[in-house]
Amino acid sequence: MTQTPELPGCGHDAPAIALAEALDRIRALLEPIDGQHRVALRSGLGEVLAQPIVAPAAVPAHDNAAMDGYAIRHSDADRDPLQVVGSAFAGHPYTDRTLAPGECVRIMTGGVVPDGADAVVMQERVHASGDTVEVRHWPEQGENIRLAGEDLAPGDTILAPGRRLNAADLGLIASVGQAEIWVKRPLRVAFFSTGDELRSLGQTLGPGELYDSNRYTLYGMLSRLGVSLLDLGVVPDDPAALQQALDQGAREADVILSSGGVSVGEADYMVDLLKAGGQAHLWRIAMKPGRPLTFGRYGSAWYFGLPGNPVSVMVTFTQVVVPALRYLVGEQHTPARRFSVRCQGPLRKRPGRQEFQRGRLMEQSDGTLRVESVGKQGSGILRSMSEANCFIVLPADSESVASGEWVVVEPFLAGGL
Ligand code: AMP
Ligand code: MG
């Protein structure tokens, strides 16, 4: 058992810490997982590369034409018109012999430049009749030739470990002839909702009860990250049941996420269980929504206790859990893309906490972007998340924003979260 260090910002009544500070603390405690496996290239889409991809040979392999035209000898300027002695099409090189003075070869884009040629003249710049061509604009030496190795030299590292592979990356790896790659094993994430008031879909609601929506938003956001999921259902606010969920999560997953039960009183169960099972930190983070966060370790799993409010869950997930999961799986750190736009309409804010308001980025008729609030910003109003396509990120010390002022936005990449 590890003692919870007495850090500022730890505990219910401690002063709040900045989000960036919480991220630093979490990062300092996490250790990336081990484990990689070899997969067919296509199965690597969306996975994290575990071994560098090195170009075994030059790409392109040969000097080739960048245009349709004629491969010529640059020193032949005074021998124009030239004799066409053959052709070099993509996949069908001209291999008869080295070009002699006064000779040229018909060549198409991608065709290998024949021995002896050192420029390609575009077909629009010649006058062809029979087997001779007259060059109207003599090219520069090397003109319209793509050099061997121009794209990649042998031994070049083309992708480094930690890269999350996209479509272009698959093509790039294919271009060097590699059919299989090493990727990190998927992170296993267990998640559950806590609360005596929660019912699962299909059940009937009694007085004061509501449907559990957090497991659905978490399922959606986790699925996009390519982790393997273990849904542990709804767990009542009862220490024995919570312990059972944690035990199963720790046996079967690398990370355990729960939502709800981090407010004063309820959180104590969880903090006690974590202290007994590993390590516990309870932080008040100066962010809105999503102030309380429990972080720790239970057995061999990392634990994140998210707030219960549906919007708070999504905000803390994107801002705290996503960077942590990426770090754990060994992915290179790429901060979320943020930029400034003008705000359409005023925003209410009090200084003190960094806010993640829900906004809609809209394209104006002049092509510029503006953002407007989606309206009610309560942390229980999930509809605001569904309507939003970005967060409006307001710094802790900022006050209300007047219409037309510049604000920072963080767009949701797939249009929504
Ligand atoms: P808690 O953090 O447990 O005090 O929950 C804060 C608020 O979020 C309460 O109104 C809960 O009913 C609500 N809540 C907690 N968990 C969920 C959930 N899984 N789905 C929907 N609402 C929830
Ligand atoms: Mg609760």
Residues 6 or more apart whose CB falls under 8 angstroms from that of 203 comprise none
Distance CA 60, CA 64 (A): 8
Q: Domain ends where: 328, 357, 380?
A: 328
Contact 111 CB / ligand 1 (< 6 Å): no
Q: Domain ends where: 146, 176, 195?
A: 146
Of the CA atoms within 13 Å of residue 149, those in its CB half-sphere come to 7
Q: Are residues 304 and 196 in the same domain?
A: yes
Q: Mutation test of ligand 1: which of 309, 317, 386 has the most ligand atoms closer than 8 Å to its C-beta?
A: 309
Best CA proximity match to 314, nearest among 201, 224, 406: 224
The strand pairing partners of 357, in sequence order, are 392
Distance CA 178, CA 150 (A): 19
First to last CA, the chain: 37
Q: Are residues 174 and 45 in the same domain?
A: yes
Instruction: Specify whether the CB–CB gap between 259 and 194 falls below 8 A.
Output: yes
Peptide bond before residue 60 is cis, with ω within 30 degrees of 0: yes
DSSP-derived secondary structure letter, 356: E
Q: Are residues 262 and 366 in the same domain?
A: no
Q: Are residues 352 and 234 in the same domain?
A: no
Question: How many Å lie between the centroid of ligand 1 and the Cα of residue 132?
Answer: 82
Q: Are residues 156 and 219 in the same domain?
A: no
Q: Are residues 126 and 76 in the same domain?
A: yes
| 120 located within any domain | yes
Q: Are residues 391 and 324 in the same domain?
A: no
Distance CA 310, CA 316 (A): 10
Distance CA 267, CA 242 (A): 11
Q: Are residues 47 and 180 in the same domain?
A: yes
Instruction: Specify whether the CB–CB gap between 20 and 160 falls below 8 A.
Output: no
| 4 located within any domain | no
The phi, psi pair for 277, rounded to 5°, reads -100, 0
Predicted TM-score (pTM) of the model is 0.87
Instruction: Specify whether the CB–CB gap between 184 and 44 falls below 8 A.
Output: no
Q: What is the position in ligand 1's atom list of the atom closest to the CA of 193?
A: 19
| 51 located within any domain | yes
The phi, psi pair for 3, rounded to 5°, reads -70, 140
Q: Are residues 156 and 81 in the same domain?
A: no
Q: Domain ends where: 281, 301, 328?
A: 328
pLDDT one digit per residue (tens) for the chain, 417 residues: 444 444 556 666 678 999 999 999 999 999 999 999 999 999 999 999 999 999 999 989 999 999 999 999 999 999 989 999 999 998 999 999 999 999 999 999 999 999 999 999 999 999 999 999 999 999 999 999 999 999 889 999 999 999 999 999 999 999 899 999 999 999 999 999 999 999 999 999 999 999 999 999 999 999 999 899 999 999 999 999 999 999 999 999 999 999 998 777 777 788 899 999 999 999 999 999 988 999 999 999 999 999 999 999 999 999 999 999 999 999 998 889 999 999 999 999 999 999 999 999 999 999 999 999 998 888 889 999 999 999 999 999 999 999 999 999 999 987 777
| 140 located within any domain | yes
- Helix 266-277 vs helix 239-252: crossing angle, to nearest 10: 40
Contact 263 CB / ligand 1 (< 6 Å): yes
CATH number, domain containing residue 165: 3.90.105.10
Question: How many Å lie between the centroid of ligand 2 and the Cα of residue 233?
Answer: 14
The strand pairing partners of 305, in sequence order, are 258, 294
Instruction: Specify whether the CB–CB gap between 272 and 250 falls below 8 A.
Output: no
CATH number, domain containing residue 290: 3.40.980.10
Distance CA 52, CA 45 (A): 15
Q: Are residues 194 and 70 in the same domain?
A: no
Contact 308 CB / ligand 1 (< 6 Å): yes
Question: Where do we find the tokens 């890269």?
Answer: 163
Contact 330 CB / ligand 1 (< 6 Å): no
Contact 309 CB / ligand 1 (< 6 Å): yes
| 11 located within any domain | no
| 8 located within any domain | no
Q: Are residues 207 and 177 in the same domain?
A: no
Domain count, the chain: 4
Q: Are residues 318 and 241 in the same domain?
A: yes
User: Domain containing 90: what range?
Assistant: 64-146
